Amino acid sequence: GWQASMKSGSLSYILPCNRLPVQLMSQVRVYTSNGQKKDLGSEDRNGSTSEETLHKVGTGRQDTSNAGQKQSFLKEPIQVKVKAVLKKREYGPKYTQNNFITGVRAINEFCLKSSDLDQLRKIKRRSPHDDTETFTVYLRSDVEAKSLEVWGSPEALARERKRRKEAEIKYRENLFRNQRLLREYREFFGNTKPRSSAAAMFFKGPGKVVMVAICINGLNFFFKLLAWVYTGSASMFSEAIHSLADTCNQALLALGISQSARTPDPSHPYGFTNMRYIASLISGVGIFMMGAGLSWYHGIIGLLHPHPIESLLWAYCILAGSLVSEGATLLVAINEIRRSARAKGLSFYQYVVQSRDPSTNVVLLEDAAAVLSVAVAATCMGLTSLTGNPYYDSVGSLGVGTLLGTVSAFLIYTNTEALLGRSIQPEQLQRLTELLESDPVVRAIHDVKATDMGMSKVRFKAEVDFDGRVVTRSYLEKQDVEQLLQEIQQVKTLEELEAFMLKHGENIIDTLGAEVDRLEKDLK
């Protein structure tokens, strides 16, 4: 140790010693290595050596003010309570010795065969999948050792991985080439493959509504275009452009429906269900640009440069047929939305505003706008026929464009909200919150968020404070308590205590995971 003698008005000297003096006010306590306090003011009466005596060291002068001061020292031994703790284990920045991996990963990443895994230790763990309770895993350290035994060295294993990667790339290239040849074969000989699930989607539900709308709007565009060429009416031109925009947009919706049915892949693990919202959003933009924009443009041109209109008889006939066909499509969309809203327990208005089915909503709004625009165009053309003033016809074109702009703005807003992820209804969120809080395992929940992902999918998130006592009791209820008591009584050393705690601690964590799975199932 080191000893320091502090003198007022003098220098401080440091000498080696096995005691440490501490000066507190007028008391000096010396702590020896054996835990005893020594009296430093009295002479050594028991023949102690100079190493056990506190020496006065200075410049030769004594401070007269402190010369007669007496030092008092306590003689009780110092008692220090030392905790028995386990030595902290350093794992380093990368530690994978206790990791588990599945058999598929072991075969793919370490270039092993299924027969190689038969010789390794198999461990049953709680399955992360909903359809199975347990599944078999292997220790990563065992798999790594087995791969080195099979391939001889890490370099040989790396070469084999590289070779398999090149073979996989070549296989994908051949697969793409074979798919192209198969497609050419089908085009030449005809496709005799049974109807796929994606194609079957267009014969029921929203797909059926979209296909009916495509056929009817395509025919309407053809006949309205002929009527515009014959009459030169601005309102009829707007109607033709409207039908063309509806046909293109609904074809885009059909593409979105087919893409949404694609199975998830590594690049898109959650699938392509949002393609319906994306297609509906683009459709809304298309209505605004093609339908509303061209209608406004033609109406303004008609106001600036009016010209006489030919006989409108054929135009009236085509508008009447368009009204019937658009009305039929509108009824199909209304019936589909009513059926879907009834199944979800929502009203017709709530189902449309929340954009639960974007494809059907687009058809509904487009056909509703089409019916109203036919009425506006027919009214303005009738006023033009009665008065001979072509300005009414141009005003009708502006009215149709305004109607289409309103529909497109609504579609853009609802689909943007759906893509951003809006919260579910407060009543549903309250039900989920009450379900969690009423469970004995849950002590409290915080920061609850529930987002509607669209297409009947909800993402729910909550910070949960679990009751560790209830989880532990749930674990103990499944154990032989007498055997557990015997294990506790056999614990004598720190190593045995550590082994006991590690064994049951891991099992309690697995019990907590099982409770989380149960809660997720109840929430679903």
54-87 pLDDT per residue, tens? 344 344 444 444 444 444 444 556 666 655 566 7
Say which residues have a Cβ less than 8 Å from residue 273's Cβ, sequence separation at least 6: 260, 453, 454, 455, 457
Query: Matching CATH topology for 95-187 and 199-420?
Result: no
For residues 273 and 455, is the Cβ–Cβ distance under 8 A? yes
Tell me the CATH number for domain 95-187. 3.90.530
- 141: which 2 tokens? 């350290």
Q: What angle do CA 424, 443, 445 make, to 5 degrees?
A: 25
Decide if pLDDT at 9 tops 60: no
For residues 444 and 465, is the Cβ–Cβ distance under 8 A? yes
Decide if pLDDT at 443 tops 90: yes
pTM exceeds 0.85, yes or no: no
Average pLDDT, the chain: 77
Question: What is the average per-residue pLDDT within 504-520?
Answer: 92
Backbone angles phi, psi at 75, to 5 degrees: -115, 5
Tell me the CATH number for domain 199-420. 1.20.1510.10
Most confident residue range from 43-47, 302-306, 346-350, 502-506: 502-506
Domain residue spans of the chain: 95-187, 199-420, 426-523
Percentage of the residues of the chain whose pLDDT score is greater than 90:
17
Distance CA 165, CA 158 (A): 11
- 330, 293, 315, 249: which is closest to 404 by C-alpha? 293
Decide if pLDDT at 406 tops 60: yes
Backbone angles phi, psi at 12, to 5 degrees: -105, 130
Classify residue 273 by burial, with Cβ atoms within 10 Å: 0-12, 13-18, 19+: middle
- Which residues on adjacent β-strands are paired with residue 411? none
DSSP readout, 434-502?
Answer: HHHHTSTTEEEEEEEEEEEEETTEEEEEEEEEE-HHHHHHHHHTTS-HHHHHHHHHT--SHHHHHHHHH
- 246, 287, 240, 245: which is closest to 397 by C-alpha? 240
Q: Position 102: which residue type?
A: T
67-81, 232-246, 250-264, 419-433: least confident range: 67-81
